[in-house]
Structure 1
Amino acid sequence: MFDTRSLIWEAQSPKDDVRKAAEARLIELCDADASRVFVEFARVSANPNEQLPCRQFALLALRKLVTMYWSPGFESFRGQSTVDIESRRIVRNILLQLCLDDEQVGKIRNGASYCVVQISAVDFPDQWPELLTEVYNAILKHSLAAMRLLTEIYDDVISEEMFFEEGIGLETLRIIFEVVSDSRASLEAQLAAFDVLRCCLVQMSAVDGSTTTKRKEFTFHACKEILRMWSEFLASNSVSSEKLHLSARGKVYEGLTLLKNEFSRKIVASSFGRELKALTIRDLDTAAQIYIDMIQENLDQEQLKAMNEYTVHVLEFLSAICDLHFTQEELESVLTSLSNLCCLDNNTTEQWLEDFNTFVSKETGLVPSFTIRDQAAEFMASLSDSDYSVALDLMLNELSQIQNFNEGWIFNESLLFLLQSLLLNECDTMEPVDKLLDTLALLGDIFNHSLPCIFVYCRVSLVIPKLLEKFMDNIPNVKNLVKDFLFVSLDYALSKANTVIRSAALIAFTYYAYFAELPSVLGPENCLQIQEKILGLITEIFPESEDDTDGVLMEVLNSVIDCNFEGASKETVCHTEFNLVFAISAKNPSNIQAAVESQECLDKLLKRVDSKIYAGFWQVCFPPMLNVLSGSAEISFDYSPLLSLTLQFLVILMKRKPEDEILSANICNNVFEPLQMVLNSSKDEEIIQLATEALGYLIYNTETSVVLPRLRSIINILDRLLSPEVPDEGAMNIGSLTVTVFSKFSDQIQDLIPMILEAAAIRLIQATNISTTQNLLSVFCYVTCADAQQTVDFLFSTTIDGNNGLMLVIPKWLESFDVVRGEKRTKENIVALSKLYFLNDQRLASMKVNGDLLPHESDIIITRSKAKSLPDRYTQVSAYQKIVKLFISELEFRGKHQDPQLLMAGTSMNFGYNPLDTRTMESTEEGEGEDDWEDVDGPLEYEQLKHYANEADDSGHEDLDEECLNGILRHLDSRNVQELLVDFFKEVASKNVSGFQEIYNSLSSNEREILSQNLI
Structure 2
Amino acid sequence: MDSTESLIGMRRLLENLLSPDNSVRIQSELEFKHFMESDANSLSYLLIQTALDDSLALATRQSALLQIKRIVPLVWSPAFDKFVGPTPINQKIKGILRNSLLKLVADPDSKIRSSASYAIVQIAAVDYPDEWPELLGHLYDSTTNPDSSMFNIIGSLSVLQEIFDDIVTDQQFFEGGVAIQVLKTCETLLQNKFNSAEVKVETLRLLKSLCQSFDNADFDINGREQFCNSVIPQIYQLVISTSKNVSAEPFVNSLTAWELKYETYYILDYFMNSFSNLLESFASASFNLLLQDFSVQSEVYQQLLMSDIDTIEFDKIFTDVKQFYSSQRERKEPYPFLTTSMSKEVEFMQTLIEIQNVDNPVHLSNILDLLAHVSILPSSKIEDYNSDFNQFVTDESGLNVEIAIRDSIRELLSDINENANHILIDLLMEKLNKLGDLKANQLKAETIVFLLSCCFENDDTIVQAPSFDLEKFLNSSLNLLLSGYIVSEKFQFLAARFILMIPRFLFKFANKCKQFGVSAFTKICSVISKLGGVDDFFIVKSSILISLQYYNYFIRAKEFGTLVQNELLGLVTQVSTEATEDTNMTLLDVMTIIISIDNLELTKNSHTIELILTIGFKNDSNFTMSSAMFECIEDILKDIPKPNYDDIVSFVFPFLLQKIVEVKEEYSSDIDLCLQVLGSFLKVNSSYQIPGEIFYNTFSVINKFILVCQDDELIQSSTEALIELVRHSPELCSKFIDPETKETGIQILLRNTAKLLSPDMSDRAIVKLGDLVNLLITNFNQSIGSYLDEILRALTVRLVHATEVPTIENMILIFNALTISQPSSTINFLKSFMIDGKPALVKVLPLWFQAYEVMRGYDSILSNVRAFIEIYKLNDRDIKGIVVDGDPLPQQVPDGIIVTRSIAKRMSIKYKQIPADAKIVSLLLEELKNEITAGDHGAAVGHIRDVDNDNDYDDVDDDDDDGWEDVEDLGRQTLDQLKDYVDEQKSLKRDRVGNNDDMKELLISFFKECTVQNTSNFEDIYNQFMSDNQRKLLSEYLLFT
TM-score range normalised by the length of the shorter chain: 0.7 to 0.9
Deviation at 1:170, TM superposition (A): 2.0
Which of 872, 876, 892 lines up with 2:910 in the alignment?
A: 872
Deviation at 1:345, TM superposition (A): 1.6
Deviation at 1:98, TM superposition (A): 5.4
Q: Deviations over 1:13-66 (max 9, x none)?
A: 3425641453146436745x63xx666555544545544444443443444456
Change (3 A) 1:100 1:604: same
Find out whether 1:518 has 2:530 as its counterpart: no
Q: Relative to structure 2, which stretch is displaced further, 209-218 or 865-874? A: 209-218
**Whole-angstrom distance in 2 between the partners of 1:855 and 1:124:** 30
Letter in 2 for 1:640: S
**Whole-angstrom distance in 1 between the partners of 2:112 and 2:896:** 44
Letter in 2 for 1:890: E
Which of 459, 469, 491 lines up with 2:526 in the alignment?
A: 491
Deviation at 1:561, TM superposition (A): 1.9
Q: Relative to structure 2, which stretch is displaced further, 334-343 or 703-712? A: 703-712
Find out whether 1:126 has 2:134 as its counterpart: yes
Which of 443, 446, 459 lines up with 2:480 in the alignment?
A: 446
Which of 549, 556, 569 lines up with 2:583 in the alignment?
A: 549
Change (3 A) 1:262 1:363: same
Match in the other structure for 1:170:
184
**Whole-angstrom distance in 2 between the partners of 1:388 and 1:175:** 42
Unaligned runs of 5+ in 1: 904-926, 961-974
Find out whether 1:406 has 2:444 as its counterpart: no
Letter in 2 for 1:5: I
8 Å Cα contact 1:308/1:372 also seen in 2: yes
**TM-score, structure 1 as length reference:** 0.84
Q: Counterparts in 2 of 1:641-720, with a 5 A limit?
A: 641-657=669-685, 660-704=687-731, 706-708=733-735, 709-720=744-755
Letter in 1 for 2:650: Q
Find out whether 1:232 has 2:261 as its counterpart: no
Change (3 A) 1:93 1:444: same
**Whole-angstrom distance in 2 between the partners of 1:192 and 1:807:** 59
Q: Counterparts in 2 of 1:512-661, with a 5 A limit?
A: 512-519=551-558, 522=559, 526-564=560-598, 566=600, 569-572=601-604, 575-632=606-663, 634-635=664-665, 638-657=666-685, 660-661=687-688
Q: Deviations over 1:816-843 (max 9, x none)?
A: 3333322222232233333444445555
Match in the other structure for 2:406:
373
Q: Counterparts in 2 of 1:830-841, with a 5 A limit?
A: 830-841=865-876
8 Å Cα contact 2:602/2:608 also seen in 1: no
Change (3 A) 1:310 1:760: closer
Find out whether 1:507 has 2:546 as its counterpart: yes
Change (3 A) 1:217 1:944: closer
Letter in 1 for 2:833: T
State the SS of the aligned residue for 1:562. helix
Change (3 A) 1:275 1:487: same
Which of 419, 422, 433 lines up with 2:455 in the alignment?
A: 422
Change (3 A) 1:954 1:96: closer
8 Å Cα contact 2:390/2:582 also seen in 1: yes
Which of 148, 161, 168 lines up with 1:154 in the alignment?
A: 161
8 Å Cα contact 2:74/2:84 also seen in 1: yes
**Whole-angstrom distance in 1 between the partners of 2:211 and 2:237:** 12
Change (3 A) 1:861 1:727: farther
State the SS of the aligned residue for 2:440. coil
**Whole-angstrom distance in 2 between the partners of 1:1005 and 1:188:** 60
Q: Deviations over 1:937-967 (max 9, x none)?
A: 4465213324545877854456x6xxxxxxx
Deviation at 1:703, TM superposition (A): 4.1
**Whole-angstrom distance in 1 between the partners of 2:67 and 2:212:** 32
Change (3 A) 1:997 1:315: same
Match in the other structure for 1:248:
260
Unaligned runs of 5+ in 2: 315-333, 736-743, 951-962
**Whole-angstrom distance in 2 between the partners of 1:799 and 1:873:** 26
Change (3 A) 1:116 1:610: same
8 Å Cα contact 2:419/2:463 also seen in 1: no
Match in the other structure for 1:275:
285
8 Å Cα contact 2:372/2:448 also seen in 1: yes
State the SS of the aligned residue for 2:786. coil
Change (3 A) 1:608 1:580: farther
Deviation at 1:655, TM superposition (A): 2.0
Change (3 A) 1:995 1:950: farther
Find out whether 1:887 has 2:924 as its counterpart: yes
Change (3 A) 1:27 1:998: closer
**Whole-angstrom distance in 1 between the partners of 2:230 and 2:871:** 64
Change (3 A) 1:172 1:314: closer
Q: Relative to structure 2, which stretch is displaced further, 887-896 or 935-944? A: 935-944
Which of 959, 977, 980 lines up with 2:999 in the alignment?
A: 977
Deviation at 1:878, TM superposition (A): 5.0
**Whole-angstrom distance in 1 between the partners of 2:53 and 2:836:** 65
Deviation at 1:439, TM superposition (A): 2.7
8 Å Cα contact 2:302/2:374 also seen in 1: yes
Identity %: 22
Change (3 A) 1:400 1:127: closer
Letter in 2 for 1:151: S
**Whole-angstrom distance in 2 between the partners of 1:366 and 1:444:** 28
Match in the other structure for 1:316:
347
Match in the other structure for 1:963:
none
Change (3 A) 1:1010 1:667: farther
Letter in 2 for 1:684: D
Change (3 A) 1:286 1:858: closer
**Whole-angstrom distance in 2 between the partners of 1:11 and 1:295:** 45
Find out whether 1:467 has 2:473 as its counterpart: no
State the SS of the aligned residue for 2:765. helix
**Whole-angstrom distance in 1 between the partners of 2:916 and 2:101:** 64
**Whole-angstrom distance in 2 between the partners of 1:660 and 1:70:** 63
Match in the other structure for 1:909:
none
Match in the other structure for 1:284:
294
**Whole-angstrom distance in 2 between the partners of 1:948 and 1:561:** 55
8 Å Cα contact 1:854/1:872 also seen in 2: yes
Which of 477, 494, 499 lines up with 1:456 in the alignment?
A: 494
Q: Counterparts in 2 of 1:176-255, with a 5 A limit?
A: 176-178=190-192, 181-182=193-194, 188=198, 191-192=201-202, 194-196=204-206, 198-199=208-209, 210-211=222-223, 220-234=233-247, 236-238=248-250, 240=252, 242-255=254-267
**Whole-angstrom distance in 2 between the partners of 1:120 and 1:809:** 42
Change (3 A) 1:580 1:72: closer
Deviation at 1:304, TM superposition (A): 4.5
Match in the other structure for 2:319:
none
Find out whether 1:741 has 2:741 as its counterpart: no
Letter in 2 for 1:668: F
Letter in 1 for 2:564: I
**Whole-angstrom distance in 1 between the partners of 2:890 and 2:283:** 50
**TM-score, structure 2 as length reference:** 0.82
8 Å Cα contact 2:101/2:119 also seen in 1: yes
Letter in 1 for 2:162: D
Match in the other structure for 2:330:
none
Letter in 1 for 2:372: S
Deviation at 1:715, TM superposition (A): 0.9
Q: Relative to structure 2, which stretch is displaced further, 397-406 or 191-200? A: 191-200
Q: Counterparts in 2 of 1:925-1004, with a 5 A limit?
A: 937=965, 938=970, 941-946=978-983, 948-949=985-986, 955-957=992-994, 975-987=997-1009, 992-996=1014-1018, 999=1021, 1003-1004=1026-1027
8 Å Cα contact 1:651/1:697 also seen in 2: yes
Letter in 2 for 1:408: N
**Whole-angstrom distance in 1 between the partners of 2:465 and 2:508:** 13
Q: Relative to structure 2, which stretch is displaced further, 642-651 or 446-455? A: 446-455
**Whole-angstrom distance in 1 between the partners of 2:520 and 2:682:** 40
**Whole-angstrom distance in 2 between the partners of 1:71 and 1:992:** 55
**Whole-angstrom distance in 2 between the partners of 1:131 and 1:1011:** 55
Change (3 A) 1:863 1:714: farther
Letter in 2 for 1:147: I
